[in-house]
């Protein structure tokens, strides 16, 4: 009797002719995520099997697989030869600590196996009741299900629990994007959602040293690392925005600070994206959440770039964003109380519905090209 981990994938079957490429990506991503652990890897029809691992590593396997896009669910199973005696033993072993009601569900991929699935399930149910009289059968809503998966190649997998994973698509299967990451709650969630759809990520953060502190930057490094865990690592670009903010502060009406600053951010982001072969910009914007996220503000900041701007949270309520932040464990870090560059020179009354023409007029008071060049020369790159 061998312990194995069954890995199931989700949407890859939609990919028609490209399926082979997707499967190869998923396989490589799984292997990379498990590097350093001892195991052997096998592909069987429709799933992967991890074998020959140390039992005390099981939790580590599962927590690493939780961060691999494209992995839909995982089960820890017992594998035995497809003989009735051995399968029965595996069932009894698998549920030895269980309480309550159960049903047995047999899947017979191997039609040569001697008994039809329904009959075999019934027979196993009888043997389980005999061995564990405290259990009861409930075929409609059991407390647990004993899955018996009789495979074509002469062995059977027995398990009870199906652990849901992140689903989505393999990292790298949907191009590459640049995540504009702040220290807030939203942008790490936006990055995670795009990573889940298979996008490889790099990240860009603007800070306003000395108005913002080293700890504020460290917090963003931590958040970027957490997002990077879903994309097999991440490169973080850090740019100093201080001069740009000071110039806006000096030369433009106070209420234009955020509107103009966001246009600079997008322009700089696009240059960095293009220089690094990235195909899209990603922000954590959510419609109407704050003054800088009204449709007029989004139009103003989005109109300075030609790359697509992906805003996966555009229609999310904050409460739902927070739920995902908690689930991916970025929330606790995001709420640490450090200042953000957007809070420096914060106007009392930011523009809610900026008029594009007026915005461009104000912008023409600044030496935009020079300011962007200076900002780009402040770039620091951190590989995470």
# residues contacting ligand ATP (CB under 6 A): 20
Q: What does 149 bind: Mg ion, ligand ATP, none (CB cut-off 5 to 8 Å by kind)?
A: none
CB of 187 to ligand ATP, least distance (A): 3
Binding mask 182-221 toward ligand ATP (x if CB under 6 A, else -) reads x-xxxx----------------xxx---------------
Q: Which is nearer to Mg ion, 33 or 182 (CB)?
A: 182
Give the one residue of 69, 170, 172, 184 binding Mg ion; rule: CB under 5 A.
184
Among 5, 169, 280, 342, binds ligand ATP (CB under 6 A): 342
Nearer to ligand ATP, 172 or 183 (CB): 183
Enumerate residues 6+ apart whose C-beta is below 8 A from 330: 185, 188, 189, 192, 223, 226, 227
Least gap, CB of 251 to ligand ATP (angstroms): 21
Nearer to Mg ion, 50 or 185 (CB): 185
Question: What is the footprint of ligand ATP within residues 273-302 (CB under 6 A)?
Answer: 283-285, 289-290, 292-293
Q: Which of 182, 283, 292, 300 binds Mg ion (CB under 5 A)?
A: 182
- The Cβ-side half-sphere exposure at 243, using a 13 Å CA radius, reads 15
**Pick 252 or 341: Cβ nearer ligand ATP:** 341
* Least Å from the CB of residue 266 to Mg ion: 15
Instruction: Between 184 and 354, name the residue whose CB sits nearer to Mg ion.
Output: 184
The distance of closest approach from Cβ of residue 233 to ligand ATP in the complex, given in angstroms and rounded to an integer, is 19
Residue of minimal CB distance from ligand ATP? 184
Residue at shortest CB range from Mg ion = 184
Q: Please, what is the minimum distance in Å from the beta carbon of residue 9 to Mg ion?
A: 35
What is the closest distance, in whole angstroms, from the C-beta atom of residue 289 to ligand ATP in the complex?
Answer: 6
What's the closest the beta carbon of residue 326 comes to ligand ATP, in angstroms?
Answer: 14
From 138-146, 183-191, 211-219, 310-318, give the range in contact with Mg ion by CB under 5 A: 183-191
Q: Binding residues for ligand ATP, per CB under 6 A?
A: 180-182, 184-187, 204-206, 283-285, 289-290, 292-293, 340-342
């Amino acid at each position: 009797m061998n312990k194995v981990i069954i890995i199931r994938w989700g949407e890859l079957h939609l990919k028609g002719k490209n399926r082979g490429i997707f499967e190869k990506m998923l396989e490589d991503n799984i292997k990379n995520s498990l590097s350093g652990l001892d195991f052997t890897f096998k592909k069987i029809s429709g799933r992967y099997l991890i074998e020959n691992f140390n039992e005390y590593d099981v939790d580590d396997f599962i927590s690493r697989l939780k961060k691999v896009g494209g992995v839909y669910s995982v089960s820890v199973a017992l594998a035995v030869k497809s003989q009735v005696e051995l399968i029965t033993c595996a069932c009894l072993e698998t549920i030895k600590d269980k309480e309550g009601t159960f049903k047995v569900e047999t899947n017979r991929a191997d039609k040569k196996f001697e008994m039809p699935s329904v009959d075999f399930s019934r027979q196993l149910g009888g043997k389980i009741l005999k061995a564990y009289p405290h259990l009861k059968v409930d075929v409609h809503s059991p407390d647990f299900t004993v899955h018996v998966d009789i495979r074509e190649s002469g062995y059977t997998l027995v398990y009870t629990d199906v652990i849901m994973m992140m689903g989505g698509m393999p990292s790298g299967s949907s191009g590459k994007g640049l995540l504009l990451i702040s220290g807030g709650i939203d942008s790490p969630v936006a990055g995670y959602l795009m990573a889940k759809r298979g996008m490889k990520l790099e990240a860009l953060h603007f800070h306003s040293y000395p108005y913002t502190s080293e700890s504020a930057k460290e917090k963003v490094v931590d958040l970027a690392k957490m997002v990077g865990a879903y994309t097999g690592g991440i490169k973080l670009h850090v740019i100093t925005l201080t001069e740009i903010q000071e110039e806006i502060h000096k030369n433009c009406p106070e209420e234009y600070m955020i509107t103009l600053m966001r246009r600079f951010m997008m322009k700089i982001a696009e240059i960095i994206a293009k220089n690094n072969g990235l195909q899209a910009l990603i922000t954590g914007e959510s419609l109407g959440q704050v003054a800088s996220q009204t449709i007029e503000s989004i139009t103003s900041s989005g109109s300075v770039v030609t790359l697509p701007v992906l805003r996966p949270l555009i229609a999310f309520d904050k409460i739902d964003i927070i739920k995902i932040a908690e689930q991916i464990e970025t929330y606790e870090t995001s709420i640490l109380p450090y200042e953000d560059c957007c809070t420096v020179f914060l106007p009392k009354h930011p523009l809610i519905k900026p008029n594009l023409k007026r915005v461009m007029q104000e912008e023409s008071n600044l030496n935009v090209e020079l300011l962007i060049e200076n900002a780009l020369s402040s770039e620091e790159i951190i590989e995470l």
